Structure 1
Amino acid sequence: MNFVVTGGGTGGHIYPALAIARGLLARHPDARVLYIGRSGGLEADLVPKADLPFRSIPVTGLKRSMSPRNLLVLWRAARGILLARGILADFKPRVVIGTGGYVCGPVVLAAVLLGIPTLIHEQNVLPGLTNRLLSRFVSQVALTFEDARQYFPRKARIKVTGLPVRPELLAWRRDEARRAMGIPEDARLVLSFGGSQGARVLNVAMVEVLKQFRGQTGVYFLHVTGPGHYEEFCSRAREAGLNITGNGNIILMPYLNEMPRALAAADIAVCRAGAATLAELTVVGLPAILIPYPYAAGNHQEYNARSLEKEGAALVIRDRELTGSLLAESLARLLAQPAKLKEMAAASRRLGRPRALDEILELIDNLAW
């Protein structure tokens, strides 16, 4: 039994595809999974490291404005469909699964032309252009957010599954995580981070926040700067009168390997609004102050963040409006309202989908037989 997974361009497309590929292999030990991506893309590096066979096709993305370059893009897309069709005809997959990015288009369309069942997964509230186009032809559409449904054709076969998250997220209990981190059970813990690479604007704001909360009893801060921002953050912190170590209730780190443990221990998060981050927050039921990355394609992170805010699980501060004083004031207000935080946690947990991977695999199995 063979399956093809495709998606690329960014980690937001690639990591869900890898999670689905691993899930298929775990569920069907005799299966083979082939990953088709773009030559020269990030997936060309990540997929072989995940011990999955990888084939590439040459594709590029359309310019949203009128551009002569789009003629070359369309020619490459047509060539990509032909190349993908040859790969699929040879590999004979039961189902082709796409997670977005422009490499997904030729591969999924080739599968449609060959009569192979197809599924696409959309990570964000505001769908990417490729998935919006493909939704008219594929057998099944899986969504992370219910709010994304409005952007797809009414005739599309849609199911909200959520986004696969790391299984370690469900392994930690709050009390165990706190003991491991040395956080008192009755204290509040604020976890702030800007993604794996960090976020400069959040780091700048957090200097003021940490200055205001330094030494305050009953509240702890774990701030992750991102590896490339740590030295600059430390310099700013020293200028603000903060010590890099020995601040009592403040823990500073360039990178956090034990993020699942920290999420389990925290009372509130301050972070960006990527789909994977929000999936993890909601699975553990963690309230958040979200600062969407404004330069994400189509500003999709703000759409993601507003979806949680609408349900009462988060507070949104736009990147351009973020200041240290505003963030400190927002945190102080929420930390002073335990009942409010509890309501937000419950709302977050209601949105969480810990069985996302299983639900996606069930959809694939339904298409395969």
Structure 2
Amino acid sequence: MSGKRYMISGGGTGGHIYPAIAIAEELQSRHPDAKFLFVGAKDKMEMTKVPEAGFKIEGLWISGIQRKLSLANLMFPFKLISSILKSKRLLKSFKPNVVIGTGGFASGPLLKAASSLNIPTLIQEQNAYAGITNKWLAKEANTICVAYEGMDKFFPKDKIVLTGNPIRKDLLEVSSKKEEAIKYFDLDHEKKTLLIIGGSLGSQRINELIVDHISLFEDENLQVLWQCGKLYYDRYKHLSTANLKVLEFISKMDLAYAASDVIISRAGAGAVSELSLVGKPVIFIPSPNVAEDHQTKNAKSLEDKQAAIMLKESDLDNKFVATFRGLIRDTDLQKELSKHIVQLAKPLATKSIVDEVEHIESQLK
């Protein structure tokens, strides 16, 4: 088979899917004739988001291990074996040059199978605390691209390359899209816009916070774009008005960022990377329900550099109103946060990762 061929896997949440798509798009821009095949978990959001981005995807019968004893955990060994066997069939049929994994349990079987067939692999780890799948795969990977210093406590030092996190191309320049964004979301030019994003699946705690403070946003004369998430949309859609747009999912995030003046967000690695690039003032509300509390570490590192405000969930009842009012009424503080957060951006991360993919290929010749 002639031409370059790449298999890419990563999923479960947008934090794994969108980096995978960003890497594929950069490879495609360099090699327009290249062929791509994504591999995901059968019932997860990558099965719709990847085809929407224009790429083919195959699903595996795989899921993560639950923290508590459950029937799903008893099934895990069977799912893993089944997924590794299917991955081997796909690899032998597609014959990729390199296999790329961006984390999430779906990438485990594919990269494990690739290594067993001596097909080179590259891992991309978004977080400061490495995920279980990537730790499992690290020993056999050719290269491990990371976004944070000090990752040699998880991975072999000689395989690590500090690149930053991949960013979708449409987010590299949002400032010129304000007019288009206001039209797209049917917003009022005269009002400031608050964007609320609780992760791709939504956040119950952030959603409850918004419901409790709708009158606060009205008092401050704000219009709100609120991505409440797939799991919560039916519960909150009745609250939608001209000034409070309740959205299940925002597919055009570039326009959402362009429209916004202030942002409330979770502090996943993907969100932090995107928001650094976008350069708007942000209040991060880290999720406490993640491995090693890594979202708090992400948000704290920005707060320490005066690049964002962090509010822990446990502080929301006491501090949210004063903190939010303080930010929305202080244009100097908004400018200060914007100036500092944009200094942390790594706009060339996707290019750097694809450089590493090409370096692996050059060693095969």
Does the alignment reach a TM-score above 0.5?
A: yes
Stretch of structure 1 that moved more, 288-297 or 76-85: 76-85
Partner residue in 2 for 1:222: 224
Two-structure CA RMSD over aligned residues (Å): 3.4
The amino acid across from 2:346 in the alignment is: R
Partner residue in 2 for 1:253: 245
* Counterpart check, 1:15 vs 2:18: yes
Q: 2:29 & 2:189 partners in 1: Cα distance?
A: 36
Contact 2:239 2:246 in 1 (8 A): no
**1:314-329 alignment to 2 at 5 Å?**
314-323=308-317, 326-329=319-322
TM-superposed CA distance for 1:33, in Å, is 0.9
Distance 1:16 1:341, change over 3 A: same
Matched positions, count: 350
Contact 2:23 2:166 in 1 (8 A): no
Contact 1:149 1:158 in 2 (8 A): no
- TM-score, normalised to structure 1's length? 0.79
What's the secondary structure of 1:93's corresponding residue? Answer: coil
* Counterpart check, 1:90 vs 2:93: yes
The amino acid across from 2:343 in the alignment is: R
User: Runs of 4+ in structure 1 displaced over 6 angstroms?
Assistant: 65-69, 177-180
Q: 2:211 & 2:219 partners in 1: Cα distance?
A: 14
The amino acid across from 2:127 in the alignment is: N
**1:1-369 alignment to 2 at 5 Å?**
1-64=4-67, 73-74=76-77, 76-146=79-149, 150-168=153-171, 170-173=173-176, 182-183=188-189, 189-195=193-199, 198-206=202-210, 209-212=213-216, 214-216=218-220, 220-224=222-226, 226=228, 227-231=233-237, 233=239, 244=241, 251-255=243-247, 259-296=253-290, 299-323=293-317, 326-369=319-362
The amino acid across from 2:302 in the alignment is: L
Distance 1:86 1:356, change over 3 A: same
Q: 1:104 & 1:257 partners in 2: Cα distance?
A: 23
The amino acid across from 1:191 in the alignment is: L
Distance 1:130 1:30, change over 3 A: same
Distance 1:72 1:130, change over 3 A: same
The amino acid across from 2:205 in the alignment is: V
Q: 2:70 & 2:218 partners in 1: Cα distance?
A: 53
The amino acid across from 1:230 in the alignment is: Y
The amino acid across from 1:270 in the alignment is: I
User: Larger C-alpha radius of gyration, 1 or 2?
Assistant: 1
TM-superposed CA distance for 1:31, in Å, is 1.0
Contact 2:14 2:200 in 1 (8 A): no
Q: 1:210 & 1:57 partners in 2: Cα distance?
A: 42
- Can you give the 5+ residue segments of structure 2 that lack an aligned partner in the other structure? none
